[in-house]
Amino acid sequence: MTEGKGLRLGTTLFSFTNEFHGREYSLDELIAQVGALGLGPGLEIVGFAHLRGFPEVSDEFADHFRNQVAKAGLEQSCLGINADRWIIPDKPMSDDDLLAYHEAQIRAAAKLGFPVARYQFGAGPELALRMLPLAEKLNVKLGMEIHAPDAVNSPVVMEFREMYAQADSPYLGFVPDFGSSAQRVSPAFGRYFNQIGLAPELVRLAESMWPADPGDPHATISAFEQKAEAAGYKKSDYAELFMIFGLFSKQEPEAWLEIMPQVVHIHGKFYDFDESGSESAIPYEKLLPVFVQGGYDGFMSSEWEGHFFTDDGGFPKVQAHHALCQRILNQEKGAHRR
Amino acid sequence: MFKTRVISDNGLRRWEGGVAIDIRLPWYRALPLSTVEIAEVKIDGALIAANETRFLINGESLALDALPGRDKDWWYVLDSGFVLVPKRVLEIGSQHEVSVTVGIRPPYIPGFYRMTECTKRLKVEPETQGVTR
């Protein structure tokens, strides 16, 4: 067993959705650039985004990928896998089929050298328990992402926590997404809504109803929809505002302590910085000390989701995020020494 | 952002007597075709009927209403699809306002439907062999 290294930084290639989707950088080029800019050491990718034909991964490609990561001085941190139960939207996949669907992705994670697979609530706790034997055999930890509108105590998350308590395996864990610890909706979205010409009153209406009820987020979204429609707004306009309920929720930083021993990876979600270099909506100055003091041992990927509101590239943003997080971690170390 | 990316720059070209519009998936990851909808196509403000339009993806030309049945076929995130409008004759080099709306139902978020509308003013490019990727 290796000694714990505490909270280590890294990057998910999701942050470069603009560059990748725009065919400006290939997968190999993104990996090389993350290494060259010192945005590791952790490297996370999204299976269905970055790998054509996923979850099929050839031996040849797996070798190539491992070499590229090593050459860039990086380390595989987490593979994003998906609970695509609704491929036929009105005929959800059976549990048996969805189990096979997940197992293929867990095998891909092992083959590519990822110690953690981020999975999603749509799998459900019973299915997650059925994935456990393969995860243990292949030495891949399963981390259910806790993403807005959820929080550590949302009903859907509690179902997983109850199953985890029964199963008691280090291979079953969580991946906090810091969008679910926002203090407000990022001002970057306000600027975007303004830029695409949405009425300021409509945007204010949505923001006045934020955050969604974590017990029933769909109810909040429906209530907003009804009010927007009653006020005479077009669906194509108000539907764009639904995303604020799915990207941001409110939760005290200390709430994560409840599940801290089960945290296997972190999505350091961010959007925008204020003049002092702090994230404009997500309180990293409070969040990171909670994880350091809580004994978290693993990676945090810088995860910029700016492709929702800008065509800007992600590299300068991730550099700024690393600078912010490094500053906070250094202060935390200093405080600890004193 | 996806709003500017659905229609590719220089994405309007002649194709077998009509035109092809080069479009991209407005999402960060590959999606099964059964979760994708070509919701609306307009040229110079005029709606093109769904039955006068086809969708060319992975080298195969499909009727728009065939997409829901294609749960084994994927639209990879780096690939172009092409909205084919066979009967629309446009002169090479002429300028047109093209508008395409793509709806998606990401298969890991039950009940979520997202529409992305993109409008661009484009010049008709000559027909090329490239209408496959």
Confidence label for A73 from pLDDT (cuts 50, 70 and 90): very high
The set of residues, in sequence order, having a beta carbon less than 8 Å from that of A126 and lying 6+ positions away, is A95, A163
Each residue of A280-327: pLDDT tens digit?
Answer: 999 999 999 999 999 999 999 999 999 999 999 999 999 999 999 999
Residue B104 has pLDDT above 50, yes or no: yes
Paired tokens of A116: 């953690």
Chain B positions in Cβ-Cβ contact with residue A89 (cut-off 8 Å): 34-35, 105, 107
Each residue of A192-250: pLDDT tens digit?
Answer: 999 999 999 999 999 999 999 888 888 999 999 999 999 999 988 899 999 999 999 99
- With CB atoms and an 8 Å threshold, state whether B5 touches A21: yes
Are A12 and A45 within 8 A, CB to CB? yes
Q: What is the ipTM of this complex?
A: 0.95
The set of residues, in sequence order, having a beta carbon less than 8 Å from that of A110 and lying 6+ positions away, is A138, A139, A140
Are B83 and B23 within 8 A, CB to CB? yes
Are A46 and A80 within 8 A, CB to CB? yes
Q: Which pLDDT does position A11 carry in this prediction?
A: 98
Are A291 and A264 within 8 A, CB to CB? no
For the annotated catalytic residues of A, the residue numbers are 147
Residue A56 has pLDDT above 70, yes or no: yes
* DSSP H/E element including B14: strand B7-15
Q: Which pLDDT does position B129 carry in this prediction?
A: 56
- With CB atoms and an 8 Å threshold, state whether B115 touches A21: no
**Over residues B3-22, mean pLDDT:** 93
- With CB atoms and an 8 Å threshold, state whether B71 touches A122: no
Q: Which pLDDT does position A217 carry in this prediction?
A: 86
Q: Which pLDDT does position A4 carry in this prediction?
A: 81
**Residue B107, preceding bond cis, omega within 30 degrees?**
no
- With CB atoms and an 8 Å threshold, state whether A86 touches B2: no
**Over residues B64-92, mean pLDDT:** 96
Q: Which pLDDT does position A337 carry in this prediction?
A: 64
Mutate which of A27, A46, A48, A50 to disrupt the B interface (most B C-beta within 10 Å)? Answer: A48
Nearest CB neighbour to B28, from listed A21, A120, A122: A21
Q: Which pLDDT does position A222 carry in this prediction?
A: 93
3-state helix vs strand vs coil in chain A, percent to 5: 55, 15, 35
Q: Which pLDDT does position A21 carry in this prediction?
A: 97
Confidence label for A336 from pLDDT (cuts 50, 70 and 90): low
Are A303 and A267 within 8 A, CB to CB? yes
Each residue of A129-139: pLDDT tens digit?
Answer: 999 999 999 99
Q: Which pLDDT does position A46 carry in this prediction?
A: 98
Chain B positions in Cβ-Cβ contact with residue A309 (cut-off 8 Å): 1
**Over residues B102-126, mean pLDDT:** 94
**Residue A55, preceding bond cis, omega within 30 degrees?**
yes
% pLDDT > 70, chain B:
96
Rounded-to-integer distance, Cα A275 and Cα A291, Å: 25
The set of residues, in sequence order, having a beta carbon less than 8 Å from that of B47 and lying 6+ positions away, is B40, B41
